[in-house]
Amino acid sequence: MPVPDVARRLRQGQLKKSPIREIMKLADPRNIRAMGLDPADVISFAGGWVNHEAPAGLRGQYAAIADDPALFHELGAYSPTRGLRRMREALLAFDAAFIGTPGLADEHILLGSSSTQLTHTLFTTLLDPGDRVVLFDPSYANYGPQLDLGPDGVEILWLPVFDAESWTFMADPEGIMAAFERMVAAHAPRVLLFSTPDNPTSRLIPDRLFFDLLSIAERAGCFVVVDYAYRAQCFGEPAPAHIAASPAEYPHLIRLHSNSKWCRGLGRRLGWIEASPSVIEAVEVVQQSTALCPDSVHQYALATYLETALADGSLERYLADMNALYRRAARHTVDCVRRYLDMPCLEPEGGLYTVVDVGRDGDDFVRDVLPRTGVIFVPGSGFGPALNHGIRVSYGPLVRDLDRIEEGFRRVGEALRA
């Protein structure tokens, strides 16, 4: 019997493939061996993950749960769809200690199984068929494919924020603001979505531009969804004011958070949103039919850890040490790009990445360099048209191995000069 067809959007290739996943497939050990390379000798700058140690206290909370049969049994139950109250209260305490968001309260928070799941749930909640969504050019590569899985016919509008000629990010805030005003007037977008610090550039949006865009969107009845996946990894002091922009003061603002990056919870999936109570109520209705509820064990362990680590000061030390680790790796990466490649790149202001101008099609560059050097990058084209001649470089997986970072760029530099 033949297998029935899958959905039309998949049959007809309407759903975009992630460029990151495509490169990771290319880097499969079988493909690497076919190139005559040793997989153990491959250096990857493609992965968007952190590689610092999770807090020892958090690991201890998981051990305590496993050692307590009654508690382990209890946490096998469903949590509320919005998440455990204890977890929500711990997040409020975390924010009060490190962010200071005005007016943030329990009614503004909903937990989900991950920020990826919550992004898709938000699209289902906020968008109708044919609506328009504004993304920065460049933007996180997963936004486009997720929008394709949302309501039918959603259109992406690209807001240019990157100058490929000067290789600068948001160098013209007035021009960006004017372009967004024109988009709003001409197309009435339903959502503006971006991250800060940004993926792929690891740059921060300037405070003034952030609040100007927020005001334009408010007047137009447009939601602003801000992805703060790398909020705990802002290198500058003091932190920018927009990190504490509050949905209590801006009801059209939705803040999206991930547990993945700051405490290396990549595989312990947990995320949350902060939004006006009316949005939270609507998302809760949708989440009942998607994730149902976030993981009870992860919530309990993280909440208990946060309570303890906030009280004894260990969380502040942990965050400071983690931030210093990534700041050092970021500076080393940029230094290696300049010494070995002599190509334009951006100075990270947070996060895990920089983008490099390779002067030609980024996809071709990545596929040319890999078999010659055993070094993997992600082409910039998947993040938006502005980076067609660029690559994204991630120092996150190699944050504790600066020599490996240097070796990777030394190999590429030698290959390009050969």
CATH code of the domain containing 380: 3.90.1150.10
- CA gap 407, 207 in Å, rounded: 37
Q: What is the DSSP string of 332-386?
A: HHHHHIIIII---BPPPSBSSEEEEE-SS-HHHHHHHHHHHHSEE-EEGGGG-GG
Structure token pair of residue 239:
């932190």
Q: Are residues 221 and 294 in the same domain?
A: yes
153 shares its domain with 297: yes
Give the pLDDT score at 148.
Answer: 86
User: Do residues 371 and 281 both lie within one domain?
Assistant: no
Q: What does the alpha-carbon distance between residue 338 and residue 22 come to, in Å, rounded to a whole number?
A: 27
2 in a domain, yes or no?
Answer: no
CA distance 9 to 169: 34
Same domain, residue pair 199 and 149: yes
What Cα–Cα distance (Å) separates residue 413 from each residue in 196, 381, 407, 417? 31, 22, 10, 6
- Asked if residue 413 lies in contact with residue 340, where contact means CB atoms within 8 angstroms, the answer is yes
Contact 261, 231 (CB under 8 A): no
Instruction: State residue 345's pLDDT score.
Output: 97
Structure tokens at 242: 């927009």
**Same domain, residue pair 308 and 323:** no
Q: What is the CATH number of the domain that holds 69?
A: 3.40.640.10
168 shares a domain with 305: yes
Residue 264 maps to a domain: yes
pLDDT for the residue numbered 72 = 97
Beta carbons within 8 Å of 367's beta carbon, 6+ residues apart: 26
Cα separation, 410 vs 397, whole angstroms: 18
* Residue 16 pLDDT: 62
185 and 332 together in one domain: no
State how far the Cα of 190 lies from the Cα of 153, in Å rounded to an integer: 13
* Same domain assignment for residues 205 and 303: yes
Beta bridge partners of 256: 227, 273
pLDDT at residue 418, rounded to an integer: 85
Q: Is the same domain home to 38 and 67? A: no
Give yes or no: residues 95 and 38 share one domain.
Answer: no
Structural domain of residue 377, as residue ranges?
Answer: 8-53+316-417
For residue 411, is it within any domain?
A: yes
The Cα–Cα gap between 362 and 171 comes to 23
Number of residues that this document lists for the chain: 418
The predicted-structure confidence for 251-308, as pLDDT tens digits, reads as follows 999 999 999 999 999 999 999 999 999 999 999 999 999 999 999 999 999 999 999 9
**Res 5: pLDDT:** 76
pLDDT of residue 299: 97
The pTM for the full model equals: 0.94
74 falls within a domain: yes
DSSP string of 174-224, one letter each residue: HHHHHHHHHHHHHH--SEEEEESS-TTT-PPPPHHHHHHHHHHHHHHT-EE
Structure token pair of residue 255: 């803040």
Structural domain contains residue 3 = no
Dist CA 145 CA 153 (whole Å): 13
Residue 48 covered by a domain: yes
Q: Are residues 237 and 342 in the same domain?
A: no
Per-residue pLDDT tens digits for 231-244: 988 998 888 999 99
The residue among 312, 335, 357 that closes a domain is 312
pLDDT, residue 30, reads 84
- Residue finishing a domain among 260, 286, 312: 312
Alpha-carbon Rg for the chain, nearest whole angstrom, is 22
* 387 found inside a domain: yes
Q: Tell me how many domains the chain contains.
A: 2
Domain boundary among 293, 312, 331: 312
**What residues in the chain have per-residue pLDDT under 50?**
none
Q: Which of 196, 215, 210, 193 is nearest to 133 (CA)?
A: 193
Query: Which pair of structure tokens corresponds to residue 128?
Result: 């109708």
Task: Tell whether 1 is covered by a domain.
Answer: no
Cα separation of 40 and 107, whole Å?
A: 49
Query: What confidence score (pLDDT) does residue 237 get?
Result: 80
Alpha helices by DSSP H, 68-195: 69-74, 85-98, 115-126, 143-148, 173-187
Of the candidates 396, 407, 325, the residue with the CA atom closest to the CA atom of residue 373: 407
Same-domain check for residues 278 and 390: no
Residue 149: what pLDDT? Answer: 84
pLDDT confidence of residue 15: 60
